[in-house]
C-alpha cells in the first residue's frame, strides 16, 4: 500500500464526555468491532475493580480513574483508527485539552437522561475553538431519557451549533424499540434480551404501509415516529458536510453503548463522514499536508514512568505528514539536534508494541531522553518545519510548596522541573524567596495530589503544601512601579519560569482593585501561545 493510501485510511479522533456518560463503554465496543479485545470488561472492569487501559500509576488505580490520556489503534472496515482517550473525571488537567490538539475529530458522548453536563461544556469549548468536526452519540437510550427534541434543542442553544439526527430513537427506557435510520429509511430494532440489534433491512419506512412496522414497534409508536420524522424532515438542518467538517453542525446518533445497540451503525457512519488526517500550519504560515512526502510531527504529551522498572519517559507525538521510520535519524527543531526516536510504540488495548513505521494521523510514543517539551516539532533535517506551540492554559488553583528536607534540594529541583516539563503543573517563583519555596499552578486540583505522590514515589522528596485561595492569573504588560511595590489586595506577585512578571488574584474584584489603585498598570491574559491549526 502506498504512503498516501495508508494516510487516507487513517481516522484520528478523541472521545469526550462528562464522567459516567459511557465513554469507556463506547470505546470498548469499538475495540470489540476492531477485534482488539475479545470480551467486554477488558478495558474497564466493574465499579469495584475499575481500571482503564492507561492506568500506569497506583494513584490512578486507587482512585479508579484514568488520569492520563491513552491512545489506542485498531483496524475496522478498511480504516486504521486512532482513538485518543481523554480523562473525563471532574478534576481533569491540561492534559485533556492538549490531547484534543492531536485529534482531527471528536465524538461527544451524552447521557440521554442528563443532556449536557459541565465537563461536556468545557471539552466542547476546546473542540469548537479548533473548529474540528464533532459527532454526538446520545447514550443510554435503554433508560428513561429526556425528550430527543429537547436534547437537540439544548445542543443547539447551548453550543450554538446545528444538529442533524442521523437516526431517531423509538421511545426509550423499557419501551425502547430501536432507532430509525433517516438515511436508509429503515428501522434497527432493539432486542434487549439478546443484548444486540435486529435490523429490519429493506422495510422502507413508508409510514402508510404499516403492517411490518406495527408488528415491530406497535401502532402508537409507529404513528409517533412518523410524526417525528415528518417534523425533522421539515424543520431540522440539512446534512451539510461542509458545516460538519468545520464543526458548525453535529451529526447526532442515539443508541446504547452498554447494550451494543446502534454502536456499529454509528461507527460506520462516523467513518464515512469523517475525513482523513487534517493539514497543519507552521509558524511561517505554511500549510503542511498529511500526504507531503516528508515526516513531521509535534509533541503533545509527555508521560513519565509508564514503566516503573525502566523509569522511562515517553513523549507522545502526533504525526502531521509523511511516514515515520524506526531506524531513521530525525531533527528536533527546538534543540537543533538530530535525534533517533527509539522504542517507537503504539498502544493496542493493554499492550504497547514497538513499531517500525507509522503514518500521518498516527500517534506514537517515543522515548524522551529529557529534551522534549510539549509543543516541540520533530521533522526531517532536509525539510525543516516548525509547528505552532500548544496553548498553555491559565492555572485555576495555586499552592505554595516548600521543601522540607534541605539535604534533598537537588532531587526537589529535578523532580519539580521534570514534572513541569511534562506540562502537568506550572511553577512560579516568589521574587526574593529561595528556590525551596515556589508557587505551583494547576488547571485541575487533582494534579496537586499527583505532584505530591510522584515527588515522594519517584524522587523521594516530601514537601509542605499550602493551598492558596487565588484563582486567576494575569501577565503584567506594564507597571507604573516595580511590581513588588504595587498597591494590591488579595493578590500575589510571582514570576513564571521565563522570568516574566505575573499577578495571581483571589477574584475578579482584586483585578479591578489593582487597576484602579495603580494607574498605568496593564495586564494581559495568561494564555499567550497561539493554538495549533
Ligand atoms: P465514562 O467512561 O464516560 O465515565 O462511563 P462508563 O463507560 O464507565 O459508563 C458509566 C456507567 O454507565 C457504567 O455503569 C456503564 O455500565 C453504564 N452505561 C454505559 N452505557 C450505558 C447504556 O447504554 N445503558 C445503560 N443503562 N448504562 C450504560 P457502572 O455501574 O458505573 O459501571 P459497571 O459496573 O457497569 O462497570
Question: What gap in Å lies between CA 298 and CA 278, rounded to an integer?
Answer: 14
Where residue 68 falls among pLDDT bands split at 50, 70, 90?
Answer: very low
State yes or no: pLDDT of 57 exceeds 70: no
Q: Which of the residue ranges 41-50, 181-190, 288-297 would you say has the lowest mean pLDDT?
A: 41-50
Instruction: Find the 140 Cα to ligand 1 centroid distance in Å.
Output: 8
Instruction: Find the 155 Cα to ligand 1 centroid distance in Å.
Output: 22
Measured from the Cα of 41, ligand 1's closest atom is 36
Q: Helix (H, G, I), strand (E, B), or coil: what is residue 254?
A: strand
Where residue 81 falls among pLDDT bands split at 50, 70, 90?
Answer: very high
Residue 366's nearest CA partner among 342, 392, 386, 393 is: 342
State if residue 88 touches ligand 1 by the CB under 6 angstroms criterion: yes
Instruction: Find the 109 Cα to ligand 1 centroid distance in Å.
Output: 12
Where residue 48 falls among pLDDT bands split at 50, 70, 90?
Answer: very low
Where residue 218 falls among pLDDT bands split at 50, 70, 90?
Answer: confident
Question: What gap in Å lies between CA 289 and CA 285, rounded to an integer?
Answer: 13
Measured from the Cα of 257, ligand 1's closest atom is 23
Query: For 63-87, b where at least 16 C-beta lie within 10 A, e where not — what string?
Result: bbbbbbbbbbbbebeebbbbbbbbb
pLDDT in tens, 298-349: 999 887 765 555 567 788 899 999 999 988 999 999 889 999 887 777 765 4
Task: Give the bridge partners for 169, in sequence order.
Answer: 179
Instruction: Find the 21 Cα to ligand 1 centroid distance in Å.
Output: 7
Which has more confidence, 432 or 505? 505
Q: β-pairing, 351-354 with 345-348?
A: antiparallel
Cβ proximity of 229 and 215 under 8 Å = no
> What percentage of the chain carries pLDDT values higher than 90?
51
Task: Give the bridge partners for 348, in sequence order.
Answer: 351
Residue 377's nearest CA partner among 313, 285, 295, 286 is: 295
H or E segment at 377? strand 377-379
State yes or no: pLDDT of 189 exceeds 70: yes
Question: What gap in Å lies between CA 494 and CA 475, rounded to an integer?
Answer: 10
Q: Helix (H, G, I), strand (E, B), or coil: what is residue 417?
A: helix
Q: Please list, in sequence order, all residues whose beta carbon lies within 8 angstroms of the beta carbon of residue 464, skipping any fewer than 6 positions away.
A: 401, 402, 403, 404
Instruction: Find the 115 Cα to ligand 1 centroid distance in Å.
Output: 15
State if residue 47 touches ligand 1 by the CB under 6 angstroms criterion: yes
Q: β-pairing, 186-191 with 178-181?
A: antiparallel
Residue indicated by cell numbers 492534559: 95
Cell matching residue 53:
487501559
Q: For residue 202, what pLDDT is reported?
A: 43
Instruction: Find the 97 Cα to ligand 1 centroid distance in Å.
Output: 23
Question: What gap in Å lies between CA 133 and CA 161, rounded to an integer?
Answer: 11
State yes or no: pLDDT of 92 exceeds 70: no
Q: For residue 399, what pLDDT is reported?
A: 97
pLDDT in tens, 481-530: 999 999 999 999 999 877 889 999 999 999 999 999 999 999 998 865 44
Measured from the Cα of 143, ligand 1's closest atom is 26
Question: Which residue's C-alpha comes closest to atom 32 of ligand 1?
Answer: 47
Q: For residue 49, what pLDDT is reported?
A: 36
State yes or no: pLDDT of 251 exceeds 80: yes
> What percentage of the chain carries pLDDT values higher than 70?
85
SS3 string of 219-248? HHHHHHHHHHHHHHHHHCCCCCHHHHHCCC
Average pLDDT, the chain: 84
- Residue 154, burial from CB neighbour count under 10 angstroms (0-12, 13-18, 19+): middle
H or E segment at 268? helix 263-273
Ligand 1 site-directed mutation target among 15, 16, 17, 22, most atoms within 8 Å of CB: 22
Cell matching residue 304:
513519565
Q: For residue 199, what pLDDT is reported?
A: 52
State if residue 258 touches ligand 1 by the CB under 6 angstroms criterion: yes
Measured from the Cα of 256, ligand 1's closest atom is 23
State if residue 256 touches ligand 1 by the CB under 6 angstroms criterion: yes
State if residue 25 touches ligand 1 by the CB under 6 angstroms criterion: yes
pLDDT in tens, 261-296: 899 999 999 999 998 999 999 999 999 999 999 999
Residue 251's nearest CA partner among 268, 227, 276 is: 268
Question: Which residue's C-alpha comes closest to atom 28 of ligand 1?
Answer: 258
State yes or no: pLDDT of 66 exceeds 60: no
State yes or no: pLDDT of 533 exceeds 50: no
Question: Which residue's C-alpha comes closest to atom 6 of ligand 1?
Answer: 22
Where residue 406 falls among pLDDT bands split at 50, 70, 90?
Answer: confident
State yes or no: pLDDT of 152 exceeds 80: yes
Cβ proximity of 511 and 470 under 8 Å = no
Amino acid at each position: 500500500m502506498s504512503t498516501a493510501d495508508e494516510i487516507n485510511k487513517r481516522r484520528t479522533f478523541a472521545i469526550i464526555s462528562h464522567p459516567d456518560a459511557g465513554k469507556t463503554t463506547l470505546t470498548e465496543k469499538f475495540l470489540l468491532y476492531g477485534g482488539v479485545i475479545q470480551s467486554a470488561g477488558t478495558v474497564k472492569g466493574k465499579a469495584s475493580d475499575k481500571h482503564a487501559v492507561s492506568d500506569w500509576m497506583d494513584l490512578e488505580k486507587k482512585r479508579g480513574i484514568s488520569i492520563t490520556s491513552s491512545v489506542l489503534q485498531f483496524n475496522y472496515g478498511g480504516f486504521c483508527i486512532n482513538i485518543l482517550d481523554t480523562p473525563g473525571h471532574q478534576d481533569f488537567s491540561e492534559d485533556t485539552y492538549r490531547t484534543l490538539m492531536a485529534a482531527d475529530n471528536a465524538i461527544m458522548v451524552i447521557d440521554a437522561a442528563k443532556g449536557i453536563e459541565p465537563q461536556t461544556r468545557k471539552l466542547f469549548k476546546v473542540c469548537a475553538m479548533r473548529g474540528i468536526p464533532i459527532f454526538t452519540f446520545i447514550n443510554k437510550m435503554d433508560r428513561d431519557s429526556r425528550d430527543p427534541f429537547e436534547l437537540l434543542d439544548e445542543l443547539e442553544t447551548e453550543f450554538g451549533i446545528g444538529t442533524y439526527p442521523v437516526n431517531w430513537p423509538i421511545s426509550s427506557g423499557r419501551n425502547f424499540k430501536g432507532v430509525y435510520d433517516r438515511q436508509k429509511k429503515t428501522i434497527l430494532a432493539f432486542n434487549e434480551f439478546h443484548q444486540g440489534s435486529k435490523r429490519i433491512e429493506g422495510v422502507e419506512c413508508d409510514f402508510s404501509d404499516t403492517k411490518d412496522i406495527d408488528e415491530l414497534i406497535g401502532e402508537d409508536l409507529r404513528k409517533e415516529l412518523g410524526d417525528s420524522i415528518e417534523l425533522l424532515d421539515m424543520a431540522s438542518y440539512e446534512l451539510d458536510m461542509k458545516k460538519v467538517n468545520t464543526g458548525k453542525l453535529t451529526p447526532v446518533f442515539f443508541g446504547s453503548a452498554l447494550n451494543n445497540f446502534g454502536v456499529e451503525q454509528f461507527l460506520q457512519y462516523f467513518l464515512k463522514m469523517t475525513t482523513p488526517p487534517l493539514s497543519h500550519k507552521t509558524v511561517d504560515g505554511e500549510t503542511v499536508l498529511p500526504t507531503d512526502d516528508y515526516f513531521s510531527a509535534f509533541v503533545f504529551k509527555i508521560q513519565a514512568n509508564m514503566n516503573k522498572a525502566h523509569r522511562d519517559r515517553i513523549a507522545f507525538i502526533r504525526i502531521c505528514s509523511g511516514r515515520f521510520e524506526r531506524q531513521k535519524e530525525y531533527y528536533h527543531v527546538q534543540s537543533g539536534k538530530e535525534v533517533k526516536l527509539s522504542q517507537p510504540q503504539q498502544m493496542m488495548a493493554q499492550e504497547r508494541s514497538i513499531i517500525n513505521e507509522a503514518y500521518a494521523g498516527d500517534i506514537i510514543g517515543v522515548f524522551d531522553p529529557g529534551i522534549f517539551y510539549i509543543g516541540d516539532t520533530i521533522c526531517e533535517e532536509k525539510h525543516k518545519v516548525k509547528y505552532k506551540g500548544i496553548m498553555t492554559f491559565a492555572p485555576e488553583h495555586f499552592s505554595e510548596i516548600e521543601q522540607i528536607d534541605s539535604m534533598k534540594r537537588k532531587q526537589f529541583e529535578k523532580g519539580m522541573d521534570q514534572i513541569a516539563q511534562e506540562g502537568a503543573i506550572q511553577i512560579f517563583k516568589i521574587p526574593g524567596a529561595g528556590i525551596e519555596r515556589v508557587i505551583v499552578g494547576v488547571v485541575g486540583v487533582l494534579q496537586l495530589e499527583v505532584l505530591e505522590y510522584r515527588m515522594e514515589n519517584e524522587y523521594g522528596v516530601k514537601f509542605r503544601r499550602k493551598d492558596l485561595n487565588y484563582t486567576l492569573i494575569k501577565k503584567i504588560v506594564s507597571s507604573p512601579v516595580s511590581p513588588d511595590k504595587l498597591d494590591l489586595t488579595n493578590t500575589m506577585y510571582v514570576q513564571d519560569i521565563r522570568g516574566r512578571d505575573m499577578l495571581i488574584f483571589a477574584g475578579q474584584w482584586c483585578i479591578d482593585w489593582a487597576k484602579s489603585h495603580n494607574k498605568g498598570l496593564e495586564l494581559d491574559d495568561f494564555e499567550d501561545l497561539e493554538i495549533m491549526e
